[in-house]
Structure 1
Amino acid sequence: MFKFFKKNPIWAPNSILAPSDGTAVPINTIEDPVFSQGAMGIGVAVNPSSDNVYAPVSGNVTMVAATKHGIGISTAEGRDILIHMGVDTVELKGKPFKVLVNSGDEVKAGEKIAVINRQEVEANGKLSTIIVVETNSAERKDKLNLVKTGTVKHGTDLAKFSY
């Protein structure tokens, strides 16, 4: 009731929103060389303080990894965005993740898309860092400017694309 009074995150098609409450950090500082060195594309990362994961962009879900640690979203602007939950978490075979979307679903930026059991991830010696990358940034020649680091709430504007 009265959902129209609930404030939705403001998302612009050239933005990436925080996928979780936590601490936003530059992607080149995370402990995963594939992501930190840009091999997967340009992006941002959040060390979560909550188990809830939210869509950082609006678009269509193109992929949910069989191990539930990754979700792909394609935006109307042609950006392919990967939300990767944790570092080396593929080895956990999906156990600490509950994905709330399916391939083919349309999502809005700020919509809850998954839950990560951070305690279970960390008990297995893994990091629960949530990584968001544009996997087709090299072909698009996009650049990404980090606009916020430190403590963030999900839906906070984290980065802006430029061309």
Structure 2
Amino acid sequence: MLKRLFGKKEVELEEVVVAPLTGTVKQLSDVPDPVFSQKMMGDGIAIEPSEGNVVSPVDGEIIQFFPTRHAIGIRSKAGVEILIHVGLDTVNMKGEGFTGHVKEGDKVKVGDKLITFDLDLIQEKATSTITPIIITNGDSVEIVERMAIDRCEKGKTALLKTKRS
């Protein structure tokens, strides 16, 4: 009886991931890069951005911010780890056209500005502007729902519902 009262309970944490960019929602299979389309880094979704602003998709903490400012990692309060990778082959731009507004260790809320970027410059210099949003700790996080939408607005539109156990 005491074990039932005081025993360890399995806790499942659900989290809604909102759009970090405004644009057109795409499936990962539509990303013209096998690292993302074949889910080698994890499952998720992608956005073809219509403007050059990235905001936080969750309340959490910045756990990684690449020196080139083209990609950022966030851990939500519920423990979901999210990678936002702006464009494809943008690492080769060496930070040109990217401005970071946060640093590793910063606490963020949904809608907080993370990165601004020059969309026209990325269209000119990179392979694609399509931006994968990847759940990188898929071993402990499951995507339980993908919202059936074509367009999204940064900081407002729900994209994914996740569950961590």
Deviates more, 1:39-48 or 1:72-81: 72-81
Matching residue of 2:132: 131
Match in the other structure for 1:98 = 99
CA distance in 1, matches of 2:130, 2:92: 15
CA separation in 2, counterparts of 1:72 and 1:31? 21
Partner of 1:24: 25
Distance between the aligned counterparts of 1:145 and 1:70, measured in 2?
A: 24
The aligned counterpart of 2:118 is 117
Name the residue aligned to 1:145.
145
Give the % identical residues. Answer: 33
Confirm or deny: 8 A CA contact 2:87 2:126 kept in the other structure.
no
**Greater CA deviation, 95-104 or 120-129?**
120-129
Q: Deviations over 1:82-102 (max 9, x none)?
A: 111111111111112111110
Aligned length: 151
SS in 1 for 2:130: strand
TM-score of the pair, normalised by structure 2: 0.85
Helix, strand or coil at the partner of 1:20: coil
Instruction: Name segments (4+ residues, structure 1) moved above 2 Å.
Output: none
Q: Specify the code of the residue in structure 2 equivalent to 1:146.
A: R
Q: Check whether the contact 1:45–1:130 (CA below 8 A) recurs between aligned residues.
A: yes
Distance 1:51 1:103 in 2: 21
User: Which amino acid in 2 is paired with 1:148?
Assistant: A
2: CA distance, partners of 1:152 / 1:43: 15
Amino acid at match of 1:153: E
TM-aligned CA deviation for residue 33 of structure 1: 0.9
Structure 2: gaps spanning 5 or more residues: 1-12
Structure 1: unaligned runs, 5 residues or longer: 1-11
Specify whether residues 76 and 125 from structure 1 end up closer, same or farther in structure 2 by C-alpha distance, changes over 3 A only: closer
The amino acid of 2:71's aligned partner reads G
CA separation of 1:141 and 1:161: change in aligned 2, threshold 3 A: closer
Distance in 1 (alpha carbons) for counterparts of 2:144 and 2:31: 17
Structure whose alpha-carbon radius of gyration is higher: 2
